[in-house]
Homo-oligomer: A and B are copies of this chain.
Amino acid sequence: MEFLTGVKQQKVVEIADLTMKDMTGKTVWVRGIVHTIRDMGEVAFLILRKREGLLQCVLEKGENMTGEERLDEDSIREESAVEIEGVVRKEERAPYGFEIHIDRIKVLSVPAKGLPLPIAKPKLNTSLEAKLNHRPIALRNIRERAVFRIQEGIVRGFRDFLYSQGFTEIHTPKIGAKSAEGGANIFKLEYFHRPAILQQSPQFYKQMMVGVFDRVFETGPVFRAEKHNTKRHLNEYTSLDFEMGYIDGFEDIMAMETGFLQYMVALLERDYGNEVKRLGISLPDVDRIPQIRFDQAKQRVSEKYQRPIRNPYDLEPEEEMLIGRYIQEEYGSDFVFVTHYPSKKRPFYAMDDPEDVRFTLSFDLLYKGLEVTTGGQRIHDAKKLEEKMAERGIGTEGMEQYLSCFQCGMPPHGGLGIGLERLTMQLIGEENVREACLFPRDLGRLEP
């Protein structure tokens, strides 16, 4: 009987192994994709693409070469996967200050055709459309892929910070029954001969789970059948959601989000420095984030930029932009919490401000003028919730379980949802949210 006893120590090394200590003069084995070949005659440079970056390998052509060491178009070409045995030598001009002098090359796989995009360039200067049409290939470009390392850091920071704050992670279903809430922006499907929908948010589930764990979070896909074909909308995106009980007010939620952003920035600085540098990101200062009332923000922007207020109850994308600009100019912050959104623009479960019920105890977080978070305090009293639903003509069908939680007792609570792709997009300074989504879904795009 053979046994598995855990991860095997590999002969093959990674870039981290090579940079951790001086390996000069040692023979090593490395694997990777041939990113580029520069053949200079007697000497050829093979740049290996590995998950951590690019590794320079040098082939000095001699007499005692076997077949594979020759740069044969049929085996060693760009995008071939290879294993290289060679000696580490100091080389100031190479990416990490060293290069590998090749003794032997073993070919692991050979591509059947050339690439549809010139991915070896430092920056892909193709259209977004072309990149998305060849997405899995375009992502091999080291700048393109760096975006999604940054995205990993954001999600990782979100989870790790919330674990440290006593939150429990949950996984809630994405297929659900059709409920009276709903609306037009919901994808419908048939579920064993019953009508069903794809959840547009884990909202009801995370609220119900506050009664169980006090503080919960989820990172998962949400689905919106919105017919917006803008630079800011996706029809499927990753939502970073949390919900917390026993709050004193919705300021606690904004404070928690600020804490997350501080943690995230520190994590990106510490563990994702290469990608931050590659993308030329200047990480935002999140030591203190201004908060301003919705009506005040509208007023100030209207005055400063001579823009008449057309609708006092709504914020147009252009107004969001101007609020971002205003806060940057006046307070030097990329972020601003806009609070007290009008009741009529918030869902039924939002808690109205007892001091003025036309507004809610809620907020959006704008980042460089774009909404990246919506949150607020929720109604926790069953009777008030039922009244609000009745006022809005929302039936209780399909909402029985949700309402039952409140009837059985729920602490005061609130929470938020962060659009991962939007946050990533603003952080990396892109103009289109599709740049920050591995495989975007929009009105026209269902593949790859």
Contact = CB atoms under 8 A, between A and B. Distances in A.
Interface of A: 1-8, 12, 14, 16, 31, 33, 50-52, 78-81, 108-116, 134-137, 139-140, 145, 148-149, 151-152, 155-156, 159, 163, 165-166, 168-177, 187-192, 194, 196, 198, 205, 208-209, 211-215, 220-221, 223, 225, 227, 235-236, 238, 245-246, 251-252, 254-259, 262, 287-292, 331, 337, 380-383, 398, 401-402, 404-412, 420, 438-441, 443, 446-448
Nearest to A207: B136
Contacts of A177: 446-447
* 5 nearest A-B residue pairs (beta carbon): A111-B409, A79-B409, A401-B448, A81-B411, A189-B189
A109 B31 contact: no
* Copies assembled: 2
12 contacts: A6-B255, A6-B259, A33-B411, A109-B380, A109-B410, A113-B407, A136-B401, A171-B238, A173-B438, A173-B440, A175-B446, A198-B198
Contact of A398 (B171, B257, B447): B447
A283 to B, nearest CB: 16
B51 A196 contact: no
Contacts of A116: 404, 408
B402 A448 contact: yes
Contacts of A257: 4
A212 B140 contact: yes
Contacts of A6: 255, 258-259, 262
A408 B176 contact: no
Given A81-B409, A112-B407, A189-B187, A290 B2 contact: yes
Contacts of A443: 192
A156 B160 CA distance: 9
Nearest to A365: B4
Given A136-B401, A291-B2, A175 B441 contact: yes
Contacts of A166: 14, 16, 51-52
B439 A404 contact: no
Given A1-B331, A169-B152, A291-B2, A194 B446 contact: yes
Contact of A188 (B190, B246, B288): B190
Contacts of A446: 175-177, 191, 194, 196
Contacts of A151: 171
Nearest to A381: B109
Nearest to A331: B1
A385 to B, nearest CB: 10
A4 B258 contact: yes
A1 B14 CA distance: 50
Nearest to A192: B443
Residue of A7, A80, A190, A331 most packed against chain B (CB within 10 A):
A7
Nearest to A115: B408
B139 A212 contact: yes
Given A165-B7, A177-B446, A290-B3, A136 B405 contact: yes
